[in-house]
Amino acid sequence: MNTISAVTGITNMSERVVSGMRPTGALHLGHYHGALKNWARLQALHPCLFFVADWHALTTHYESPGEIGHNVWEMVTDWLAGGIDPKQATLFLQSRVPEHAELHVLLSMGTPLGWLERVPTYKDQQEKLADRDLATYGFLGYPLLQAADILIYRAAWVPVGEDQVPHIELTREIARRFNHLYGQPPDPKEQAAARKRGITLENAPILTEPQALLTEASRLPGVDGQKMSKSYGNAIAMRETPESVTKKIRTMPTDPARVRRTDPGDPERCPVWALHEVYSPENTQAWVQQGCRSAGIGCIECKQPVIDAVIGETAVFIERARPYQEDPRLLRDIVDAGCDRARLIARETMREVRDAMGLGYV
């Protein structure tokens, strides 16, 4: 079947989609409006595999792994709360499909060190996380492990944010090199015939070169107007209580020009407006624009529809998460089944990879 999906622009609905998230614990609304909503949309269109990159968490947190377990289950709960449907998508843990590690080690044999040292996140993160010793083998190998995560499922598409694009580029290079080194060479007669026409036939590929499916950055600001991020302490969690949502938005800074209620303001200079852009219907937005600029409404008044909308959204997440919190076994069953499904695909790829690399002698 070769249909064009109007929603994604992706051309073939049977093409596989793979993505992962490091287990950072409970997710916030930025994660939802950035990544998760996009995953939920894709799951209806393509076979999707979404996994917790728990080994990737260890590349930076190898000295303090205690939190990872808790974070894994909180995050999977939020995936389900955000509408990821285990009947449509396959949800699993990286560490439960050890074939990822096998592919990582086999790919590492022929991967030039320079390719890994050149990945921009390598030096960036080492500088950013200067309090940790990241001069480790595992950290250098982070993007190669990510390449294995993707190539093992022969994914065509990888929904990621902009920061991850260099990793997908590296993955493509790794796949190309692998196919060049180990792919099935063309039939010599066909090759000779092609050469006469000035063409060189390539090896039949074993691994698929994936493409990044760029996730539009969430326009949702944190409650201080900066980018929403757990580490900035400005996030609203997907399952934040209504009381806490109210408090956080009530105390949000507004246009600094509105010192007094009678001072007119400019929504463009106000982080609350960015929330209206995501959460409010057109008529409310018009009310804000007009009321703010004419000092016809106060900021507390202006914030109320956003508070109501966010509470409405988080209420859905809280409700969807409830069964999994009441019975964590449900969560484990979903992940168990997902791991089984993922492993079947991973095993099949590894059989071919081993054979191609001359390891088919056992």
Residue numbers of the site for ligand TRP (CB under 6 A)?
18-22, 53, 56, 146, 149-150, 158, 160, 164
Q: Residue 128: how many CB atoms within 10 A of its CB?
A: 11
The two structure tokens encoding residue 304: 């109320």
Q: Which residues pair with 267 in a beta bridge?
A: none
Amino acid sitting at position 347: R
Q: Distance (Å, rounded) from C-alpha 34 to C-alpha 209?
A: 24
The two structure tokens encoding residue 207: 């691994």
The two structure tokens encoding residue 339: 């791991």
Binding string, residues 154-173; x marks residues near ligand SF4 by CB under 6 A: --------------------
- In contact, 122 and 140? CB cutoff 8 Å: yes
Q: Near ligand SF4 by CB under 6 A, which window of 69-77, 128-136, 146-154, 295-303? A: 295-303
Q: Near ligand SF4 by CB under 6 A, which window of 80-88, 197-205, 212-220, 292-300? A: 292-300
For ligand TRP, the closer of residues 20 and 305 by Cβ is 20
Q: Distance (Å, rounded) from C-alpha 18 to C-alpha 153?
A: 8
Q: Please report which residue ranges of 110-238 form alpha helices under DSSP H.
A: 113-117, 120-128, 137-140, 142-151, 165-182, 188-196
Backbone angles phi, psi at 262, to 5 degrees: -85, -10
Q: Which of 36, 81, 212, 297 binds ligand SF4 (CB under 6 A)?
A: 297
Q: Near ligand SF4 by CB under 6 A, which window of 90-98, 113-121, 125-133, 265-273? A: 265-273
Rounded to a whole number of angstroms, the minimum distance from the CB of residue 143 to ligand TRP is 8
Question: Which of 185, 150, 181 shows the shortest CA–CA distance to 167?
Answer: 150
Residues 237-256 that bind ligand SF4 (CB under 6 A): 254-255
The two structure tokens encoding residue 338: 């997902």
Q: Near ligand SF4 by CB under 6 A, which window of 22-30, 82-90, 233-241, 264-272? A: 264-272
Q: Which of 30, 143, 221, 265 binds ligand SF4 (CB under 6 A)?
A: 265
**Partner interacting with residue 302 (select from ligand SF4, ligand TRP, none; CB below 5-8 Å by kind):** ligand SF4
- In contact, 190 and 201? CB cutoff 8 Å: yes
Q: SS3 for 44?
A: coil
Rounded to a whole number of angstroms, the minimum distance from the CB of residue 31 to ligand SF4 is 24
For ligand SF4, the closer of residues 92 and 273 by Cβ is 273
**Partner interacting with residue 46 (select from ligand SF4, ligand TRP, none; CB below 5-8 Å by kind):** none
For ligand TRP, the closer of residues 161 and 242 by Cβ is 161
Question: Which of 336, 353, 335, 338 shows the shortest CA–CA distance to 101?
Answer: 353
Backbone angles phi, psi at 338, to 5 degrees: -65, -40
Binding string, residues 271-290; x marks residues near ligand SF4 by CB under 6 A: -xx--------------x--
User: Count of residues binding ligand SF4 (CB under 6 A)?
Assistant: 14
The two structure tokens encoding residue 325: 């919190």
Interface with ligand SF4 (CB under 6 A):
254-255, 258, 265, 267, 270, 272-273, 288, 292, 297, 299, 302-303
